[in-house]
Amino acid sequence: MNPGAFFAAVRARLGSLNQGQVNGINTLLAAVEGAPLAHAAYMLATAWHETAKTMQPIRERGSKAYFTLMYDVAGERPQTCIAYGNTCAGDGPKYYGRGYVQLTWKANYAKAGNKLGVDLVGNPDLAMNADLAARIMRRGMDEGWFSGKKLSDYLPTSGTATRDQYIAARRIINGTDRADLVEDYAQAFERALRDGGWK
């Protein structure tokens, strides 16, 4: 791929990039290498959205009280928490969103850790390591770890994707939350990848 053409196209569509964003994009490009065009574009778009455009692994915003309320059996949704593996008091503030895709819930940390041979349950902060976070994103989206839905359920394995396909692909990560916005980012990354000669 031609990095100059790729980054010029990203800047033309998404604005200027700082060095941290460039470094993060390069980490992600290495992780998505060999993926079909639409899959690579959608993974980059998801990271752009889920990291608040930093392209660095981030922690979900919120206080311990918020994470307890949302993700802990002592909070507002105990049955949901139990269904996703947060069965003990204190799990909410421990297994909140981290990384490029905001890995959340003890069950998801366990699944990702088992698949990648890393103790994410014992040390969830490992999901903040850029290379590991990129591997979690790639395998998780390819294999449907997060919602049971995977990239190939929605996106073509060759050529470009349609607007509706990119919108539907949001179900891989987070239902239909901000699906239109992530679709816009996916179109921008798809064009940049094509301009860069993605194979």
| Coil, strand or helix at 58 | strand
What does the mean pLDDT of the chain come to? 97
pLDDT band at 170 (very low <50, low <70, confident <90, very high): very high
Helix and strand numbers (H, E) in the chain are 10, 2
Residue 16, classed as helix, strand or coil, is coil
Quick check: 175 pLDDT over 90? no
Say what the pTM is. 0.95
Q: Which CATH number fits domain 59-128: 3.30.20.10, 3.20.20.70, 3.40.47.10, 3.30.420.40?
A: 3.30.20.10
pLDDT in tens, 16-55: 999 999 999 999 999 999 999 999 999 999 999 999 999 9
| pLDDT of 139 | 98
Averaged pLDDT, 104-131 = 98
pLDDT at residue 174 tops 90: no
- For residues 81-110, give the mean pLDDT: 97
Helix (H) / strand (E) containing 195? helix 179-195
C-beta separation of 188 from 10 below 8 A: yes
Domain boundaries, the chain: 3-58+130-195, 59-128
